[in-house]
Amino acid sequence: MNRRDFVRLGCATVIGVGAGKLRSAFAQPQDAMIGKPEPKASGRAADFTLRIAPTIVELAPQVAISTIGYSNRIPGPLMRMREGQPVTVEVVNDTDVPEFVHWHGLFVPSEMDGAAEEGTPPVPPHGRRRYQFVAKPAGSRWYHSHTAAMMDLHRGAYTGQFGFLMIDPANDPGLYDQEVFLALRDWEYFLSPMDQDEMAADPNDPMPEKPATPDLRPNGLEVNAPLYSINDKMLGAGEPLRVKSGQRVLIHLLNASASQIHRVALPAHKFQVIALDGNPVPAPQLVSVIEIAPGERVDAIVEMNQPGIWILGELRDAARQSGMGVVVEYANQHQRATWIPPPSARWDYAVFGTTAPHPAPDRTIDMVFEKVPGGPHGINHWLVNGKEYPHEREFVFHQGGRYRLMFHNRSDDSHPLHFHRHLFELVELNGKPTAGIKKDTVIVPAFGRATVDLVADQPGLSLFHCHIQQHMDFGFMALFRYA
């Protein structure tokens, strides 16, 4: 087996139905290479071309959704490059609205980063624009639309505009037999007052930011979704992930949802988490459950040593039964696909870290996040240090400075906070120290606190925001500049 074999994953098998039967019933066209970029435009030197255009994603037979995608694929083409390689991406916009492609987790200049707030020019409607950057740092990155959506749930991150971007290191130990890319995704977003309850706060969590008096204002509308998929297929459609006993399968997991934190498990197996947000962790660990927030990536190796047919899926029955799962099928197995709820376990970034001391920062920046429940349009609005974006003055870095950012989440929701163009190192999570974990997105739990260190080594404007699209659109952003 070629370890670079890229398996395009659909899904297969609803619970309780024979896998073999469904495979023939739900056979998809063989189109195994979403990894191939579109052909280069003639005479052009672009390394990749992305075409933003309306597309149909067939999540399952009789479940087809009209959306916007990259080059007619969901996820978009896998963009694979070598660390240090200069890259030109030609983006063609076949839609009626300006678009931005953000290179999530890469160190790219502000004008190439794909964020209007940083000064990146848009890809004009029915126009084109080239993004040029050097591929760094190595690891699992991704690209996605960074257009504000506001009340339009068919724009920006609510569409199918997302794809994997892999930057291969100079020396890849390649300790795996098969490599798969799994993007978790929600579809058909709508506004609802319902709490998804996907991340009910654990009453045992310390909640250091919980106010003494609770906010009794009624909650506003939040973005919800009735349909789920892994890549472009619901559980019950598409191809299973075919494995052989003894294989080590490297899973690149991405949460490309615009709104929800997800937790996944593979019954009878454990995930050896080796990288978070594409960055190798100091202490790889075996876990039964992976929790992953919008924007985050988790790379994990699974040793296939429990022959059978299993469902890799979301822990919540409603999400899994509405599509968020994929069948893992060992060779020569023909039984029904099995789901077994995993033992309850809290996700804790710190288990992948060390206890090394951190150098003292030059400065600490406190960032306090609060919710304004049910503001204009009945939507929750968000405050950073008492104000919605934009702030009258940006946060300021001095080049080469070492900054400690303290994220105080004074709301009853968990938020995945993303810093553009930089990596940060986790220092403390709800008072628990850790070290050596480098990320670009971190979940700060409800009423929780996270502290991260960041070296200001990427001059230019840098956006900071919650990666839940609605939160970002309604105030949860801040801009950092260099002095």
Stretch of residues binding Cu ion (CB under 5 A), selected from 79-87, 108-116, 295-303, 408-416: 408-416
Query: Does 468 help bind Cu ion (rule: CB under 5 A)?
Result: yes
Structure tokens at 138: 């190595």
What is the C-alpha separation between 298 and 278, in angstroms, rounded? 7
Residues 229-268 within binding reach of Cu ion (CB under 5 A): none
Among candidates 1, 13, 35, which has minimal Cα distance to 239? 13
Residue 259 or 279 having the CB closest to Cu ion:
259
Residues 296-355 within binding reach of Cu ion (CB under 5 A): none
Query: Does 471 help bind Cu ion (rule: CB under 5 A)?
Result: yes
What is the C-alpha separation between 232 and 335, in angstroms, rounded? 25
Pairing assessment for the beta strands 477-482 and 395-397 based on DSSP bridges? parallel
Query: Does 141 help bind Cu ion (rule: CB under 5 A)?
Result: no
Stretch of residues binding Cu ion (CB under 5 A), selected from 37-45, 132-140, 311-319, 458-466: 458-466
Residue 155 or 471 having the CB closest to Cu ion:
471
Stretch of residues binding Cu ion (CB under 5 A), selected from 48-56, 294-302, 307-315, 411-419: 411-419
CA 256 to chain CA centroid, nearest Å: 4
| 371, 415, 420, 449: residue in contact with Cu ion (rule CB under 5 A) | 415
Stretch of residues binding Cu ion (CB under 5 A), selected from 188-196, 223-231, 439-447, 464-472: 464-472
Pairing assessment for the beta strands 162-168 and 222-224 based on DSSP bridges? unpaired
Residue 265 or 468 having the CB closest to Cu ion:
468
Under DSSP, is residue 404 helix (H, G, I), strand (E, B) or coil?
Answer: strand
Stretch of residues binding Cu ion (CB under 5 A), selected from 16-24, 384-392, 418-426, 462-470: 462-470
| 254, 315, 324, 466: residue in contact with Cu ion (rule CB under 5 A) | 466
Residue 243 or 466 having the CB closest to Cu ion:
466
Question: What residue type is 200 in one-letter code?
Answer: A
* Shortest reach from residue 258's CB to Cu ion, in Å: 11
Structure tokens at 213: 């008096």
Q: Check if the beta carbon of residue 237 is closer than 8 Å to that of residue 28.
A: yes
What letters, b where the CB count within 10 A reaches 16 and e where it falls short, cover 297-316?
bbbbbbbbeebbbbbbbbbb
What length does the chain have?
A: 483
Residue 319 or 446 having the CB closest to Cu ion:
446
Among candidates 79, 73, 81, which has minimal Cα distance to 31? 73
* Shortest reach from residue 67's CB to Cu ion, in Å: 23
- Contacts of residue 21, Cβ cutoff 8 Å, sequence gap at least 6: none
* Shortest reach from residue 466's CB to Cu ion, in Å: 3
Stretch of residues binding Cu ion (CB under 5 A), selected from 245-253, 431-439, 446-454, 460-468: 460-468
Residue 243 or 477 having the CB closest to Cu ion:
477
What is the C-alpha separation between 70 and 268, in angstroms, rounded? 36
Angstrom CA distances, 89 to 51, 106, 302, stand at 10, 14, 33
Residue 182 or 384 having the CB closest to Cu ion:
384
Residue 233 or 418 having the CB closest to Cu ion:
418
- Footprint on this chain of Cu ion (rule: CB under 5 A): 415, 466, 468, 471
